[in-house]
Each structure stands twice: as structure tokens, then as C-alpha cells.
Chain A
Amino acid sequence: MHVRKEPAARRKGPVLVVLGVVVLAAALTLAASSSGGTKAATQAAATGPTIGKGGGFGEVYKARVATLKKTLFKATLLPKNPTARNIALAGLGRADKKVNYALALKCWKNNGCSTGTKGKLTVAYIEQFGENVYRQMSKMEFILQALTYPEVGKIIYRSAHSDLNQGIADFKAAIAQHVSLIVSYPDFGDAMLPVMKEATDAGIPVATYAWGYVTGPGKNYLTVVGEDTCALGKVYAYVMNTQVKSGNIAFLGGFPGNPLSLGWQTCERPALNPNIHVVATEPTNWDPSKVQQVVAGILAKYPDIKGWSYEYGLGMAQGAFAAYQAAGLPFNAVLTLRTDDVGMGCAFDKLNNPKLQMYYYTSGNTQIRVAFTAAMMKLKGAKIPPTIVFPIQLQNQRVRDSCAKGYPQEASATSLIPLSLLHQMYP
């Protein structure tokens, strides 16, 4: 019996062990699959359908359709270049990651912070002008994007208050601090090229957004993210050609010589039909009072002006609307604008003038997220295309109302800053 039992025990022992292991493995697998399933289900419920697949260099090339639609109007308005498309998907996809919003707000108010992750990277957003709502929102997008990377330990922000020398000094200081990457909007165009090149030579990837084009992207600096401003100018021209048809229009721009304004102005002019005359091209420094001055001046000479092309929607709403009101003229015109500020849409709605037509593009604050991610991928060895270009699609204010309910007047509803955080920024 013993003998029998012993072999039986010996035979049963391994079987039981195997059985036990199998049961345990099955249980673990079940538990794992169960929890994973639950997680996946939760994620699916939270995320909804996505676009993109694959990944690399620490990124997942995937983003929610809803997120893309919110910031680009249509989820398919992604860069055509496959690599650029992947970077855009990775950058915008990160907007759905939860971050510490209290820290983000503190960082935004203090113009920089330590993220508390003890990450080794220091990231910098350096611009030569940061004193309007558009730039302040871009700063928050930058901070939120940086907080999705645990390897980022410190965030730096600098604005030169429209002072070129200070802007150059800010760049040099960042280089001296050995920051890991720089995202910028080069307000003074090629005047910033030497320091951007110096940073690049020092091994710091420099990416610009909102088509902050400076000579030699891919060579003198990492990349420029934005819409094709030339295409924007052509789309503006298409709207003018179809809506204005003939008569006088005017171009307004930001700081003299800035790449964004030059980009669309250079391409809109030749694309206009011969019956449309551009009677003025004036810089406004993106300052509403300067907009009012310029519009008042142009109105004095051309009271029957039929169209205005510009970038800054809220500036147009605050400055031009006031100029028309002061002049006692009805605002009967076609506007082509780049930003989708809520205040702009609400001012349009309040005027309730059927003879005022307004077409706008997305503010593109979220382009800074893509620029950030491109620079992060570069740090991990990715090859980044010199330009990451988003296609254009203008929106008709009468079809898509930019006066989004619940949003602060200064904000852009295509931003990916959570509404609750926006309310804390602009209560």
C-alpha cells in the first residue's frame, strides 16, 4: 500500500503541483483579464473612438476623435506627411491625459515651476511677446503638455514684453541653463535666428508653433508647427472672391514683419480677383487699441470698405467694432480671421447684423502641444520633419457659432485646456 501509495503520491504530487500552477495561472489570468477588461471598458467609455495606431520614442500615435474635432473642427484635418501626422496625433492625444491642474494653474501664474516629479528635463517656452490672452492660453497648453511627461522636472516661461534685446537675452539665458528643449513663437522673425541657431548648435531642440517661421527649419532649428499660412491666405482670398466679389478690402497684421501675417498676406493678394483692391496693409501689434486706430483711419478714407483680413479675432472684435461704432457706420463687411475667440463670436452675435459675414480658423493654441512633443521625440532620437503643417478649413460664424456657452470671453473654444481650469484662469 505504501509502495502503491508512495508511487501514487509521487505520481499525484507533480500533477497536483501542475494543476495548482494551472489553476493559479488561470485565476491570475482571469483576474488580470478581468481587471484589464474592466480598465479597457472604462477607457473605451472615457475615450471613445480614436484615430491612429502604433507609436515610438515614448509616444502613442493615437488621439481621440472628439479631441481632434474640438481643436481642429474635423478629426481628419491632420498633417499629410505621415511622420508629421504621427507627431500631431501623439501631441494632441496627450491632451486627454490627466494632470495636476492645481499645479498647472500655479505654474501658469508663476511663469514656471518645479513639477515635483524629480524628472531630469527642464523645458522652456520663450517668446518675445506674451501679453495677450492668446499667448497666455498657449502658455497653459505648454504647461499642461509638459506635465504629461514625468521626465520633465522643471518648466520655465519667459516673455520679453516686445523687447527684441530682452528676447535674445532670454534665449541666451536658457542656453546657459542647459535647458532640454525650447518652444517659442519668434515675434521678431529672422532677428531671432542667431540665438535659435545657437541653441540648436548647443544640442537644444527648438520648435516653433503658430507658423512661427524663421529661415531654415530642420537646419537652423528643429521644426515649425502650424497651418500653411500661404494656404490660409488663399482660403481668405477664396472667401473674399465669393462673398465680396468686387470692391475695397484691407489687411491687418501683428508686429511689422512677423512671419504669420506676412505668410497669409503674401498669398492672399495675388489670389484675389482683379475687382477686389487691397487698399491698406497695416500692422496692429495685435493690440485692440491699435486696431481701433488703424480701422478708424482706413474707414475715414474708405467708408464703403467691404472686407477685412486679419488674424486676431478678439482684437478685431474689440478694436474694429468700436471704430465702426465711433464712426457711426454700420459694420457691413466680410471678415476673414485666424482665431476663434469666444468674445469675437459673442460680439458678432450681439451686433446681429445680417450684412456682417465672419469666417474664422482655429486659434491653434494646441499647436504648441505638437511642437512640444516633437521636441521631446527629438530628445529620444526621432527624426522630425522640418515643418508640421495642418490643413486649413475656415468656419462660417453663422454655421458654427464661436460664442461657446460657458467659456470666458477671452478664451478660444478650440483650446484643449479643460473648461474648469479656464474658469480658474479667467473667472
Chain B
Amino acid sequence: MKAPGRTFIASAVVAARFLPIWLATGALAIVAAITAPDALQHASWAYVLPYMTILALAALGQMLVIMHAGIDLSTPGVISLGGNFIVGVSVGSDHKLALGLLACIGLGAAVGLANGILVGILRLNPLIVTLAVGQIVLAWSLHYSREVTNSSQVPEALTSWAAEKPLGISVIFWTGAAITVAVALLIRYTAAGRRFQAVGANPRAAWMAGLHVRTHVVFAYTAAGILYSFAAILLAGIRINIDPAFGAAYLLSPIAAVVIAGASLAGGLASATSTWMAALALTFLPQMLLILGLSTSMQYIVYGAAIIVGMMVSGDRVASLLGRVLRPIEGQTRNPDMNVNTS
């Protein structure tokens, strides 16, 4: 009798961590339907869905790192240089596009591996070291775009593919959704995914259980780098041109998406689907505020306030609050049993 009750409470506490972003996004949609119904029209979604997908992919990478109490500030560098690699290696030609895409993914993996070694093996502070690595990659991107690429046009095969709309929705969205589902399934339903979560939740316990903690940390950063490179490929497809500021917007917003989605910066559990939902909310909200006709300054104020509120109602705070509320209930349900037993 006790085990199901405790399981329910544990599940509720875990779910509570991720539930608020779903409720908040639902509330946002209701508010939009009432105050800015145009934000729910096709023209708005035509922008929101592809761009939220790119943010979601960057946030998924960030999520893997944050699950291990890390942080990765090299995202804009990888996206920027990755985009330039697509253009530079393919020389704007469709025939060499595959090479360009491989170079982009290879770059993401290499930068992620470097971050992983610096943080996981050499134990350097992730905040500082990934920022430094990101700066180096960004500088390389600027140099590469001037010295090597000398062109900004993305190969037409990629842009044509990105313009496709199966079932009336951007192919970018479908691709991102597929990657998100794959990541969610891998983490939740595979042994490797379970081990990955265990190391993030409690590295010491995982180490005592015989898991290779450092290897998992290195893997987390490497996988994150690969996800950033996927984001770079999709962004290149819809942007058509690569400019020096390509990817600059993805420094902090992926972190905000992960935290609002319920993950703790101290590491532990995270949800890929909630992160995806947070990316949707963070892309949709400014669009709704724009359509509402708010002044630019008010848009920034409301957006910032929404992130603060999002942090307040998600993650550890809600989990611990729910835990405190439910424990007395658990106690009350346990006492009658005890009374029965003693009587």
C-alpha cells in the first residue's frame, strides 16, 4: 500500500518540475487568443515554428550540459562558424553541400569535445571555459568568413529544402520535432540514457555505482555541440545568407529555455519535450507582444518579466513546494495504517 503512494508522490514531484511550462504555454495561447488573435494566424506561425525549432535544438544541446551541472556559452560560436563552413566548404554549390554539412557537424562535435575535455577531464569552470572557447570559435568564424568563404550565399539545395512545407508546416519544424522526440526517447527509454540521467542527478552515487562520470560529461558537451551544428544547418536554410552576426542570438536564450522548462542549473533531471515547449513559448511571446502593439521597451520588460516568473514557477522551487505539501498527506495516509496495525 505504501509503495504506490510514494511512487505517486515522487512522480508528482517530478512532473511538477516540468508541468508549469506546459500550463504557461497553454495560458499564453489563451491570452493570445483573447488579446492578440492574429498571433495565432498562419502568417505568425510561419515565422514562429521554424525559429522556435532552431532555438529548441540549441536548447536541447544546452539541456544535456545543464543536466550535468554544466553550462555552455560556445553556442553562438558553433552556429556562426558552422554556418560559414556550410557556405565555405560547399563553395555555394549544391554538389558539395554534403561536404559542407559534414564539416558543420564535425565542427560542432570537435568544439563540444574540446569543451567536454576542458570541463570534464581538466575540471575547469564551465561558465568561463566555454565562454572562452566560444570566443575563439567566433573569432575564427569572423576570420574564416573574410579569408576563406568570401561568399554569404547558402547552396540552393538547402534553402529550397528549408522552404518546403509538408502538411502546410515548415519542414524545419518537422525536422526539429523528430530530433526532439529522438533525444527524449533516448534519454528516457534506453539504458545509456538512464545512465546519463543518473550521472547528472548524482555524480558521486553514479561513480560509486561504477559509472564513468567524466566520460558522460565529455559526451554531454560533444552531443550538445552536434545539436548546435544541427541548429546551424536549419538556420542557414531559412536565412539564405550567412552574415557575421549569424547565430549571435543564441547565447542566453537556449539557457533560459532549459531553465524555464524545469531543469536546475545545479544539474539533475530535465525534459526534452518541456525544453521544446519552452522554446516555443520564448519564440511565440515576443511575437505576441509585437502583434499586441506594445512599444519596444514594453516588449523587453514583459519578456524579461515572463522569464523571471517562469523561473519562479518551475524547477526545484515547485518540486520542493509540492514535496512539502504532499509529505503531510503521505503522513496522514500512513498514520491510519499505523493505527490499524497497533490497534
Contact = CB atoms under 8 A, between A and B. Distances in A.
Given A300-B38, A409-B153, A288 B243 contact: yes
A342 to B, nearest CB: 13
Interface in B263-306: 286-287, 290-291, 293, 296-297
A280 interface: yes
Contacts, number: 89
Interface in B43-67: 43-44, 46-48, 50-51
B151 A426 contact: yes
Nearest to B288: A297
A301 B38 contact: yes
A293 interface: yes
A214 B146 CA distance: 32
A397 B298 CA distance: 37
B150 interface: yes
Interface in A288-328: 288-289, 292-294, 296-301, 303, 318, 322-323, 325-328
B162 to A, nearest CB: 10
Nearest to A426: B150
Nearest to B54: A289
A82 interface: no
A329 B42 CA distance: 10
A280 B47 contact: no
Interface stretch (B105-113, B121-129, B234-242, B313-321): B234-242
A282 B287 CA distance: 12
Interface string B12-38: 000000000000000000000000101
B245 A132 contact: yes
A132 B151 contact: no
Contacts of B245: 131-132, 287
Interface size class of B (residues with CB under 8 A): 35 or more
Nearest to B146: A109
A406 interface: no
Interface in A373-427: 409-410, 426-427
Nearest to A318: B241
A328 B36 contact: no
Is chain A's binding surface mostly helix, strand, loop or mixed?
helix
A426 B286 CA distance: 35
A256 interface: yes
Nearest to B283: A293
Given A318-B240, A426-B150, A327 B42 contact: yes
A303 to B, nearest CB: 6
A93 interface: no
Contacts of A318: 239-241
Contacts of B44: 296-297, 300
Interface string A318-355: 10001101111100000000000000000000000000
Nearest to B48: A296
Contacts of A259: none
B149 to A, nearest CB: 10
A297 B296 contact: no
B7 interface: no
Nearest to A319: B239
A299 B46 CA distance: 11
Contacts of A132: 243-245
30 contacts: A109-B147, A131-B243, A131-B245, A279-B293, A280-B290, A280-B293, A287-B243, A288-B239, A288-B241, A288-B243, A289-B51, A289-B239, A293-B47, A293-B51, A293-B286, A296-B44, A296-B46, A296-B47, A296-B48, A297-B287, A298-B291, A300-B291, A301-B293, A318-B240, A323-B46, A326-B46, A327-B42, A327-B47, A410-B152, A427-B150
Interface of A: 109, 131-133, 256, 279-280, 282-283, 287-289, 292-294, 296-301, 303, 318, 322-323, 325-329, 409-410, 426-427
List 9 tightest A-B contacts by C-beta distance, closest first: A296-B47, A327-B43, A300-B44, A326-B46, A297-B290, A301-B38, A131-B244, A300-B43, A300-B38
Interface of B: 36, 38-39, 41-44, 46-48, 50-51, 146-147, 150-153, 163, 170, 238-241, 243-245, 249, 286-287, 290-291, 293, 296-297
